[in-house]
Structure 1
Amino acid sequence: MEKIILTGATGFIGTHTIPFLQDLGYDVHAVTSKDNTRDLRDDVTWHSVDLLNADQVAALCERVKASGLLHLAWYDDPKQRMTSGHNIEWVEATLHLARRFAENGGERIVFGGSCTEYDWKYGYCSEGITPTQPESIYGECKTSVHNILEKFSAKTGLSYVTGRIFFVYGPHEAENRLVAYAIRSLLMNKQANFSHGNQMRDYLHVADVADALVALLASEVTGAVNIGSGRAVKLREIVDLAGEKLDGTDLLHYGPVESKFDSPVVLADITRLRDEVGWTPHFDLEDGIDDTIEWWKKELNVATSQ
């Protein structure tokens, strides 16, 4: 059974990758920063490792000797992620992890990249065509890792691909992110405030993102591959859909709030994902919102008859 190291295994996306990895027969070695793993799922092998600690990372790679690495861990404070200097620490940690993984017989790396690596003024983001000229230090650090690992893999023979993840929603999402905030507010019968909502974004259900990442791992595709739906939707339409399903459109308020990252359109070209990896989304937006609503109802212990 092929061993896989999964970092970020308790995170929003990482949690959802485990069933897909198991379905393909991988022996999953999941990494968490938690000291106590007894309350975590017992169908994978857990490793308590601080990925910012070089000695612990070296010991992990030597102990597991995995052939595959799905690296999703990163600094992820929602309020500070785009601007924090901690992103630089994760560049260093990722490169050290990749090197130690390769030294211990590792063969393939899938890195969780980001659509923020692109220059958003182009709107339509296509690998190899759209410039990678990030506005944020987060995006700059992600694309720097990609560039270095591409050259490292070419020199060492390591197989490497980065999945540039666009916009994600679904179960286990942080409560202050767009879709989760809207649904939670509606279920709690509270007013929800948003910007104008006319920005168009490429959103994908988290289970589809996880499935696509695992499909990348199982493929032989290298370089950068966008992970998105290939369809841009107004943020307002997504929020209004949740409002209609929960009979709470009167609780949704839109205003002129703007952001530095408030580009009109950000859309993924998913040609490589579809044609080379052979993957397409399973959730459409309506089914994805339904699934997310049901999860939040259970999480908040809201009557399902609502």
Structure 2
Amino acid sequence: MILITGGLGFIGTHTTRALLDLGESCVLVQRRPAEVPAAFAAEAGERLFVEQADVADERALLEIGDRHKITGIMHLAGSMPWPAGAYEPIEHTERAVRSLLTLFRAARAWQVRRLGLASTIGVYAGITADGPLGEDLPLTMSAPHVIPRFKKIGELLADHLNEVLDDVEAVSYRIGGIWGPLGHNPDPFFPAPQLVHAAARGTEPDLSALMGETRMENGLDVCYVKDCGRALALLQTAGRLRHRTYNVASGRITTNRDLIAAIRKLVPGARVDLPEGRAPGPVDNALDITRLREDTGFEPPYDTERGVAEYLEWLRAGNER
């Protein structure tokens, strides 16, 4: 049984579905009370369970292992001071680091071999490179946002514990820009959700939440969320992994022009214009997913048009995000 923190979140929900489809059982850990969603009703109580616990609370987390036989852990909830201002700053930082260490303690207590840790494409910020970004590139010491900042801290702690522990395999998953059903709207990093939502509603997109200017030729390695969930499930269940860090992405750049072209093909007349050209900033690099492909056989089946079509159908069916 795979324990997933944040298993009812955006990426977590799709990863859970992918694991269930692979024949795994899952226990989803949420800090707040939560019910099993209707989408998991068929597996609830047999192959899927929801437990309430704060990951920073070691006792509460370890008690879950008394009720379920945990064979793997996926930490998708994140160990970072988020949302900003939720606690006093030093206390919030301490909770973030403690939650990560608590998962290592749980892995050892339950004799779990693989602990998967969600990281982010944001750890590559500040790197200047030609071509796709590989996992062996040296990272900078700085980060423009609290999320990649603490993901770097988490990766360093995991690397250290991998060296000194011989009974836990910690693997960091550097996840690209993810979009699709249940996603964040507005998204501060790329405009895909805002553009698709606007097309579904027949409105103009509100891009005010974006952290920087974006134009037609700006792009990102974005991965449809179902592809992301399947890739994470394959990494977590692989019999043998040869590395301790994996990029989880599509392996290609999707520009805003590509996205808008797909939207307009499906929704003629959609009001999703952006300024021409490319906004100043770093070169757009794809993530190299060679490791992911070689060790799991993963290939992303969703191209931009297929992703847009499914997301539009989801929103038009009455789903809010």
When normalised by structure 2's length, the TM-score is 0.81
| Deviation per residue, 1:38-66 (Å, 9 max, x gap) | 55634211101122333322322454341
1:160–1:76 CA distance, 2 compared to 1 (3 A): closer
Compute the RMSD of aligned alpha carbons. 2.9
Q: Which residue of 1 aligns with 2:139?
A: 131
Give yes or no for the alignment of 1:70 onto 2:107. no
Q: Which of 287-296 and 15-24 deviates more?
A: 15-24
Give, in whole Å, the separation in 2 of the partners of 1:27 and 1:298.
29
Give yes or no for the alignment of 1:52 onto 2:56. yes
Give yes or no for the alignment of 1:244 onto 2:245. no
Q: After the TM superposition, which residues 102-121 of structure 1 pair with which residues of structure 2 at under 5 Å, given as runs?
A: 102-121=108-127
Q: Which amino acid aligns with 2:181?
A: P
Mapped contact 1:4–1:68 kept (Cα < 8 A):
yes
Give yes or no for the alignment of 1:166 onto 2:176. yes
Q: Which residue of 1 aligns with 2:300?
A: 281
Give, in whole Å, the separation in 2 of the partners of 1:271 and 1:257.
28
| Deviation per residue, 1:196-224 (Å, 9 max, x gap) | 24322111110110000011111221311
More strand by proportion, 1 or 2?
A: 1
Q: After the TM superposition, which residues 1-306 of structure 1 pair with which residues of structure 2 at under 5 Å, given as runs?
A: 3-37=1-35, 41-42=40-41, 43=43, 44-74=48-78, 89-123=95-129, 124-133=132-141, 134-157=143-166, 158-177=168-187, 178-194=191-207, 195-219=214-238, 220-221=240-241, 222-254=243-275, 263-299=282-318
Mapped contact 1:95–1:149 kept (Cα < 8 A):
no
In the TM superposition, what is the alpha-carbon distance from 1:233 to its structure 2 partner?
2.1
Give, in whole Å, the separation in 1 of the partners of 2:272 and 2:74.
40
Q: Which of 218-227 and 246-255 deviates more?
A: 246-255
Q: Which amino acid aligns with 1:241?
A: A
When normalised by structure 1's length, the TM-score is 0.85
In the TM superposition, what is the alpha-carbon distance from 1:88 to its structure 2 partner?
6.1
1:22–1:299 CA distance, 2 compared to 1 (3 A): same
Give, in whole Å, the separation in 2 of the partners of 1:58 and 1:184.
41
1:122–1:94 CA distance, 2 compared to 1 (3 A): same
In the TM superposition, what is the alpha-carbon distance from 1:136 to its structure 2 partner?
2.6
In the TM superposition, what is the alpha-carbon distance from 1:288 to its structure 2 partner?
1.2
Give, in whole Å, the separation in 2 of the partners of 1:38 and 1:68.
20
Give, in whole Å, the separation in 2 of the partners of 1:75 and 1:298.
34
Q: 3-state DSSP class of the match of 2:172?
A: strand
Unaligned runs of 5+ in 2: 208-213
Mapped contact 1:62–1:104 kept (Cα < 8 A):
no
Q: How many residues align?
A: 295
1:180–1:282 CA distance, 2 compared to 1 (3 A): same
Unaligned runs of 5+ in 1: 302-306
In the TM superposition, what is the alpha-carbon distance from 1:93 to its structure 2 partner?
0.9
Q: Which of 35-44 and 166-175 deviates more?
A: 35-44
Give, in whole Å, the separation in 2 of the partners of 1:174 and 1:250.
20
- Matched-pair identity in %: 21
1:240–1:193 CA distance, 2 compared to 1 (3 A): farther
In the TM superposition, what is the alpha-carbon distance from 1:115 to its structure 2 partner?
0.9
Q: Which residue of 2 aligns with 1:304?
A: none
Q: Which of 88-97 and 142-151 deviates more?
A: 88-97
1:94–1:248 CA distance, 2 compared to 1 (3 A): farther
